[in-house]
Every structure is written in structure tokens, then in C-alpha cells.
Amino acid sequence: MTYIPISPRERDEMLKTIGVKSLDDLFDAIPAKHRFPKLDLPKALTEMEAYQELSDIAQANENVRGDLISFLGAGMYNHYIPSVIDHMLRRGEFYTAYTPYQPEISQGTLQAIFEYQSLMSALTGMDVSNASHYDGATATAEAVSLAYAQFRGKRKKVLMSPSLHPQYREVVRTYTQGMELESAGDAESNLGLSPEAFANQVDENTCIVIVQYPDFFGNVYDYTKLIEASHAKGALVCIVANPTALAMYKTPGDMGADVVVGDGQPLGIPMWYGGPSFGFFTTRKNFVHKMAGRLVGETIDSRGQRAYVLTLTAREQHIKRERATSNICTNQGLLALASAIYLSVLGKTGLQQVANLCYQKAHYAARELNKIKGYKVSSQTFFHEFVLECPMPAAELNTHLLEHGILGGYDLGQDYPTLANHLLIAVTEMNSKDDIDALVEVLSEVDHE
């Protein structure tokens, strides 16, 4: 079936107005030998059939709301999403609008983005936020582009902590292939370094230092000293932050970070097998002209009303073309809206409750797991994710846990060969005490086998 609202009679009238005999006559400019290929695709389904087919496909998955108990995080987290969010997102006025190029009839989107920018600035403790990036990894890569532009390409080293998410580091390397930049610092041998010791690797050639907060292993460090040391060498510092943790911990803004980015998925967006979520990007006011992405600013309309417009557009690709620092055009508008609604409806109290529940449950889990013979929690100061040292390869344990309906932690051996016996365990407000006890019980039994 199609969604074309034109009857055959109307079609013929229109063809007559155009002055051609048939629809096929509209395509004479196409090389004849390639015109009208026969596409080898399944025949069309009706809506009823399509719904059934998609339901069958979805049911071939095991999901974490009913099928499996999950302790998997590593950059994407299972949080509760209040109902009101999707009800608002399903407003056609929001989801079927385009980028707000015509402000007179796009104030809904524009004001929502302005509020989103305000909420993200408040959460990170930074001055300004853009309207979003694709995800946390690409936002991190855009922070590198900002630093590269800031030093006009003269500083050529990107210093990444080995405890920055492995996929984020891969994306930074992909993005910088065409720049004369060297990525360094993330050798596995650097894993044991404190932030202060890591800061010793910053030099006059470093344009940006990137660390994660809490880091990939869940550890929470105060990066103030690392930032001071980096600034002393003239380098910028980007902190990749988990937004839920920011409800509880000292802000990167307070530590003196120059750029704070991260993935917004924990803020009211389903995991959706990895996307779409969005990347947030916040910085200091003095970098606003170098920041990529769209920005909404406050202004006044011809009737004396407060209103909002896309501003500083001269930075962007449609004006600057090949001299733009980024090619970003489409961003993640609807997901940024979801997070704004999430932060609004949870508000100050609700978000603190979520963060506290994550903290409490993760620490309970860590204490209980640490009691099992042969297991050791190696993280010291953590938020809702920690490293569990196991007596056997993490991959084997995960297979065993799955047989008991438990999605175990992330097998760190996949990215860090020396950590093959280590699981990264994430606990959120969605995990009950019973879930945690079940994990502890299954792991205790493995040890006895």
C-alpha cells in the first residue's frame, strides 16, 4: 500500500496540465537502459500484516523489561522513563516538524531547545550548550575539532585516558583521520595512573585532554588538579560525563573543564538497541564561536514578544561550507526534547532520587558481590557501575548468567586483554534488591561448582 492521496482521475488531470501523457513520460532524462529497474524486494504488506511481522521480529529478542534481569551498562543504561515524555513526543507538532528555520511558526521547537540548552548548562555547570550532537562519542570527536580549530592545527596531540569509553576513542580516531593529529595516552599500560599522574603526559603539543566522569570503569575522580596541570601547559580539557551522575557529583564546570560532553540516553530515552539517543555538548562562553552545532538564542519579535531564533549560524556548514569546523546539519532534536521533558518532570528532587537509588543499589551490589569467595570489587569510589574481578573469564560467567535469565556485566576483556577476568557491572533504579540477590546467588554457585 502507499500513502498517496491522488485518485486516477486527478492524476490524469494533473498530467494534462503538465502536458505529458503518462507518469513514465516524466522520466525521459533518465538513461533509457537503466530506467525502471525491477526491484527484487518482498511484496507489499498491509498495515495489519506489517504490524504482525514487526511484532514477530521484536519478539525474537530477549528484552530487559520482562525477559532478562540486566546489569549491563558500559555507556547505555536501563532507566525508568516517565509516561508523560512519550505522550509529549507523540505530538505531531513536535515530531513531524523540521529544523526550525522559520521562527514565526517554530517557536515550540525553538523554546524547547532553548530550555534544553539551559537545563544542560545547569546540569554540567557550564555556560552554554548547543542543540545536540548525534551521540556521546561524536560529541567527543567534535570537542577535538573545537580544540584543533582553537589552536589552528598547531597543537597536534589528543591525549585520551585509557579509561575513556573504548568506542568513543575509536570514533575520535576515525574522525581525526584527515587532520594532522596524533591520538595518545590510552595504552593499556596507562590504566593504573591517577588523574594527576596522567596529567604528566600533557605537553605543549597537546590540544585537548579527554577524560571520563565517572570513567569507563565507574570510578569517580575529581579532575580539578588534572585540569589545572593541563591548563598550565595551555591544553583544553574535555570531560565526558554521565548525566545521571551529575545530579549527585561535583560539576565538571566547578572543576574548570573547558568542554563537557556525554550521551543523553540516561535522561529519558530508551536504549533502543543503541539509538537514537543524543550527545550533549556544553562549553565556556569564550568558545561559543568555535562550537559546532545549532544554537538557539533569545530575542524579541516585531510585536514585542519574547521569542527564540537559531543564532550564530555563520559558524555552520550552510554558510561557511568547506571552512566550517563541522559538517553537522541534522542533530537529535526530538531526543533532546525528550531529555528536557525528563529533567522538567523529574525536576531537582526526582533526578536526585534517581541518582541516589543508582548509588545505593550499586553499592549494595558491590558489597554483596565482594563477599563471594574468589570475587573482588576493584573500584573504590564509584557511582552506579563498578569492576568485579572474577575467578574465571568474564565471558564464561556471562554465558552461565544468561542461562539463569541474567544479562551479566560488560566483559572488559573485549577491550582490555589484561582484564579478561573482569566484569563491568551497572546497577540502576530498575534493579530491585531481589535482582541483585539473584546475581549474587548465581555467581556464588558458579564458584562452588
Partner 1 sequence: MNNVSTGLNASIVEPTIFDLSSPGRIGVTMPASDVPETALPAKELLRSELPLPELAEVDVTRHYMHLSKFNYSVDSGFYPLGSCTMKYNPKINEDTCRLPGFLFTHPLQPIETVQGNLALMYRLQEWLKEIAGFAGVTLQPAAGAHGEFTGVLMMRAYHKSRGDAKRVKMLIPDAAHGTNPASVGMMGLNVLTIPSDERGNVDLKALEAACDDTVVGMMLTNPNTLGMFDEHIERVIELVHNCGGLMYGDGANLNALLGIVRPGDLGFDVMHFNLHKTFAVPHGGGGPGVGPVGVAPHLVDFLPEPLVGIIEEGEDDLPPLYGYIKPAKTIGRMKAFNGHFGGGFVRSFTYIAMHGPDGLKDIAQYAVLNANYLQARLRDTYKIPYDRICMHEFVMEGRFEGSDVRALDIAKRLMDYNFHPPTNYFPLIVHEALMIEPTETENKDTLDAFADALIKIAEEAKSQPELLHNAPHITPFGRMDEVRAARELVLCCWLPENYDENA
Site residues (CB under 8 A) for partner 1, limited to 46-105? 46-47, 50-51, 53-68, 70, 72, 74-76, 78, 80, 82, 84, 86-88, 90-105
* Least distance in angstroms from the C-beta of 390 to partner 1: 17
Count of residues engaged in binding partner 1, rule: CB under 8 A: 211
Single residue of 69, 123, 241, 412 touching partner 1 by CB under 8 A = 123
**Which DSSP symbol is given to 330?**
S
Contact assessment for residue 68 and residue 407, using Cβ atoms and an 8 Å cutoff: yes
For 428, the grid coordinates are: 540502576
* Least distance in angstroms from the C-beta of 392 to partner 1: 17
* Closer by beta carbon to partner 1, 13 or else 203: 13
**Site membership for partner 1, residue 150 (CB under 8 A):** no
* DSSP letter for each residue of 192-215: T--HHHHHTT--TTEEEEEEEES-
Residues 212-231 that bind partner 1 (CB under 8 A): 220, 222
**Site membership for partner 1, residue 171 (CB under 8 A):** yes
**Site membership for partner 1, residue 403 (CB under 8 A):** no
Single residue of 212, 219, 332, 379 touching partner 1 by CB under 8 A = 332
Taking the C-alpha atoms of residue 156 and residue 243, their distance in angstroms, rounded to an integer, is 30
Taking the C-alpha atoms of residue 312 and residue 204, their distance in angstroms, rounded to an integer, is 31
* Closer by beta carbon to partner 1, 176 or else 190: 176
282 Cβ neighbours under 8 A, 6+ residues apart: 120, 121, 124, 126, 127, 128, 129, 130, 259, 260, 261
**Site membership for partner 1, residue 396 (CB under 8 A):** no
* Least distance in angstroms from the C-beta of 397 to partner 1: 12
**Site membership for partner 1, residue 321 (CB under 8 A):** yes
**Which DSSP symbol is given to 12?**
H
* Least distance in angstroms from the C-beta of 167 to partner 1: 4
* Closer by beta carbon to partner 1, 274 or else 374: 274
**Site membership for partner 1, residue 27 (CB under 8 A):** yes
Residues 425-444 that bind partner 1 (CB under 8 A): 429, 432-433, 436
Cα-based distances in Å from 321 to 1, 133, 143, 164, 311? 40, 19, 19, 32, 17
Instruction: Name the CA dihedral angle for 12, 17, 20, 24, rounded to a multiple of 10 degrees.
Output: -50
To the nearest 10 degrees (0 to 180), the angle between helices 433-448 and 394-403 is: 120
266 Cβ neighbours under 8 A, 6+ residues apart: 77, 79, 242, 243, 244
Residues 259-298 that bind partner 1 (CB under 8 A): 263, 270-276, 278, 288, 294-298
Among 132-140, 183-191, 226-234, 371-379, the segment contacting partner 1 (CB under 8 A): 132-140
* Closer by beta carbon to partner 1, 224 or else 448: 224
Residues 231-260 that bind partner 1 (CB under 8 A): 246-251, 254
* Least distance in angstroms from the C-beta of 203 to partner 1: 23
Residues 181-210 that bind partner 1 (CB under 8 A): none
Taking the C-alpha atoms of residue 378 and residue 218, their distance in angstroms, rounded to an integer, is 10
